[in-house]
Structure 1
């Protein structure tokens, strides 16, 4: 009487490959690769000048122009309300023609529609103003 699986020879070779040693070797190689790779540093190397910079001879403070856009879309140029977009564009052209150009500080009310602020910014860019900064962002920190 024979005990075991039937239908084959007792000494038959299993045709499947044993992959356990192959996986072990691959894991060892992976660990060795990770250990030997140098740590990547994400830094930008700059050659900075040494010493004290030379003093600037022309230290003229730039003129500052304040443009406010009120909650209803009214544009205020240095404290004076402008009645139309044409008047705003004339003021911008005058400021852009100055040398050096004045710094423009744009303050927008928290309740103003985006379209009103975008109109002022687009006009300033189109007419050549380059020094524009948004101020008053602390009102949006609620």
Structure 2
């Protein structure tokens, strides 16, 4: 603590000694000046340039597969057999771009039936598979 010599009272000074604060700030400034160039990347990598090619998007409606509780499958509300479903999925997988396949089912449908349909869709090569449900309230 610093004491005042000119007041004669010998009490403590109320002024803040800023010398240690300036010393600390200068040390930090020197440290940051030395470490800032080191933070640059040493390995130069040629990053790819993004191109925004405007492709004509053909708006294709999604294909809806409905699965009932008894295992019957409907392709856009048309009943199909397993063989016909596999044939249509194979044709659908060859399209460019592939439309999305949405799967909806009854709430009492066994998961094994839904899993079988999803497996057939993925095995055919369809990349976009979604599930349709009612929104939560």
Q: 1:39-67 CA deviation, whole Å, 9 max, x = no partner? A: xxxxxxxxxxxxxx958342321331010
Aligned to 1:31: none
Aligned to 1:114: 111
Aligned to 1:61: 59
**1:129 paired to 2:126:** yes
Q: 1:19-77 CA deviation, whole Å, 9 max, x = no partner? A: xxxxxxxxxxxxxxxxxxxxxxxxxxxxxxxxxx9583423213310100012111000
- Structure 2 counterparts to residues 16-35 of structure 1, below 5 A: none
* Cα RMSD (Å): 2.1
Cα 1:136–1:130, aligned 2, differ >3 Å: closer, same or farther? Answer: same
Cα 1:96–1:54, aligned 2, differ >3 Å: closer, same or farther? Answer: closer
Aligned to 2:17: none
**1:92 paired to 2:86:** no
User: TM-score under structure 1 normalisation?
Assistant: 0.55
Structure 1 runs (4+) deviating above 6 angstroms are none
Cα 1:93–1:54, aligned 2, differ >3 Å: closer, same or farther? Answer: closer
Structure 1: runs of 5+ lacking an equivalent: 1-52
User: TM-score under structure 2 normalisation?
Assistant: 0.56
Take 1:67 and 1:117, find their aligned partners in 2: how far apart are those partners? 10
